[in-house]
């Protein structure tokens, strides 16, 4: 199988029926997570111990906003950016998966390297590094921004005299997995095995389908860059970006630097609660090709931290990596 993608969808589960009360909605939310969420066992979560704590809180709620708050707190114990509670008045979000990590990105420093005359093609911001014209720079800030072969053709054409490219996906919170695999294909000459995926098949925490292989199809992007590429990532490189970085470990000329990615390989589905609110949760497990889960993030080949205020230490390291590869004239 070249690529399997679960599109986010809404599921109404007839087997999960609870009263539309504060207590009933907490019980329904707990049960949905217990039976549908992928990572309770992998993360070592005592989910059974969570329920009585929040049932007690539910018994004393005064209004819908207070109920939303305690249900969001219950979900936050999962520390999963793909798990959200949706109401007409608010959306919950977990930040526990990145709060304790260095940011490793400062957008105000980018003009030092690409000036203000940069170009944009299909969401790809690009230019040559100032003072290092043999090194190209691409910033892709969201995998929700589509690009095509013609966009990539003009980007790669502009870099035809360059010896290497810096590809910056720091603070890219994800988007379309199709775009992630397509971008990875740019840097792969051959169709490449990059990992496995499996989905939940039952209510038990260990009930999963058989692992199926994932491949990056080299023909997804016919325009190729088969010279050195240094990928920059940080903890806020999440979801589809996490998958992209994992794939790039198998690109023949790639080096990954910066910080550990944010994880989020779970490809979400949504379920409805008795009161009409929705809960989104991770429904799929993804691993690299050594069967190691990527849910908690992908480690870089070289960890580099941004500590300076007047330069980007991670871009500077990428320049050094590529410069060492360029033959001295």
232's enclosing H/E stretch is strand 229-233
Query: What pLDDT score does 17 carry?
Result: 77
316's enclosing H/E stretch is helix 313-325
Quick check: is 151 in a domain? Answer: yes
Domains: count for the chain:
1
113 SS3 class = helix
For 14, other C-beta atoms within 10 Å of its C-beta total 5
Quick check: is 38 in a domain? Answer: no
Quick check: is 303 in a domain? Answer: yes
Quick check: is 228 in a domain? Answer: yes
Alpha carbon separation from 218 to 175, 214, 215, 224, 267 (Å, rounded): 21, 13, 9, 9, 23
Quick check: is 123 in a domain? Answer: yes
On whether the CB atoms of residues 61 and 67 are closer than 8 A, the answer is yes
Residue 245: which domain range? Answer: 107-186+221-262+297-325
Quick check: is 95 in a domain? Answer: no
From the list 49, 43, 52, the residue with the least C-alpha distance to 83 is 43
- DSSP classification of residue 220: G
Query: What pLDDT score does 99 carry?
Result: 84
Alpha carbon separation from 291 to 51, 82, 86, 194, 235 (Å, rounded): 32, 21, 33, 10, 21
On whether the CB atoms of residues 285 and 224 are closer than 8 A, the answer is no
Query: What pLDDT score does 15 carry?
Result: 58
Quick check: is 161 in a domain? Answer: yes
Residue 297 region by backbone torsions, left for phi larger than 0, else alpha for psi between -120 and 50, else beta: left
CATH number at residue 124: 3.90.226.10
One digit per residue, the tens of pLDDT, for the chain of length 329 reads: 444 343 344 444 555 579 999 999 999 999 999 999 999 999 999 999 999 999 999 999 999 999 999 999 999 999 999 999 999 999 999 887 888 899 999 999 999 999 999 999 999 999 999 999 999 999 999 999 999 999 999 999 999 999 999 999 999 999 999 999 999 999 999 999 999 999 999 999 999 999 999 999 999 999 999 999 999 999 999 999 999 999 999 999 999 999 999 999 767 899 999 999 999 999 899 999 999 999 999 999 999 999 999 999 999 999 999 999 765 54
Sign, Cα dihedral of 262, 237, 85, 269: negative
Helix-helix angle 177-185:240-248, to 10 degrees: 20
For 285, other C-beta atoms within 10 Å of its C-beta total 22
3-state SS, 299-313, equals CCCEECCCCCCCCCH
Query: What pLDDT score does 326 carry?
Result: 65
On whether the CB atoms of residues 163 and 227 are closer than 8 A, the answer is yes
51 SS3 class = helix
Query: What pLDDT score does 100 carry?
Result: 83
Two tokens at 178?
Answer: 């199709």
From the list 168, 97, 165, the residue with the least C-alpha distance to 136 is 165
Quick check: is 67 in a domain? Answer: no
């Amino acid at each position: 199988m070249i690529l399997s993608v679960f599109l986010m969808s809404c599921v109404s589960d007839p087997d999960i029926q609870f009263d539309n009360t504060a207590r009933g909605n907490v019980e329904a939310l707990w049960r949905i997570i217990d039976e549908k969420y992928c990572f309770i066992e992998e993360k070592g979560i005592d989910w059974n111990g969570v329920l009585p704590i929040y049932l007690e809180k539910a018994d004393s709620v005064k209004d819908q906003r207070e109920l939303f708050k305690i249900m969001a707190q219950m979900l936050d114990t999962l520390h999963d950016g793909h798990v959200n509670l949706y109401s007409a008045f608010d959306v919950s979000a977990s930040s526990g998966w990145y709060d304790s990590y260095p940011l490793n990105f400062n957008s105000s420093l980018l003009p030092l390297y690409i000036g203000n005359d940069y170009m944009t093609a299909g969401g790809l911001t690009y230019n040559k590094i100032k003072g290092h014209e043999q090194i190209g720079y691409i910033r892709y800030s969201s995998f929700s921004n589509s690009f095509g072969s013609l966009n990539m053709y003009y980007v790669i054409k502009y870099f035809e005299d360059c010896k290497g490219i810096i590809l910056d996906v720091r603070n890219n919170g994800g988007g379309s997995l199709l775009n992630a695999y397509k971008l990875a294909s740019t840097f792969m000459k051959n169709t490449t095995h990059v990992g496995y995926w499996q989905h939940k098949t039952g209510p038990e925490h260990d009930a999963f389908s058989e692992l199926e292989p994932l491949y990056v199809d080299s023909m997804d992007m016919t325009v190729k860059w088969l010279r050195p590429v240094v990928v920059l990532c940080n903890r806020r490189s999440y979801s589809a970006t996490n998958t992209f970085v994992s794939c790039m470990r198998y690109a023949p000329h790639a080096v990954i630097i910066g910080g550990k990615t944010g994880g989020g390989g779970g490809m979400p589905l949504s379920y409805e609660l008795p009161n009409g609110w929705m809960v989104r949760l991770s429904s799929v497990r993804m691993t690299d090709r050594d069967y190691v889960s990527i849910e908690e993030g992908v480690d870089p080949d070289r960890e580099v931290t941004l500590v300076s205020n007047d330069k980007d230490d991670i871009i500077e390291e990428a320049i050094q990596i590529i410069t060492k590869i360029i033959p001295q004239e």
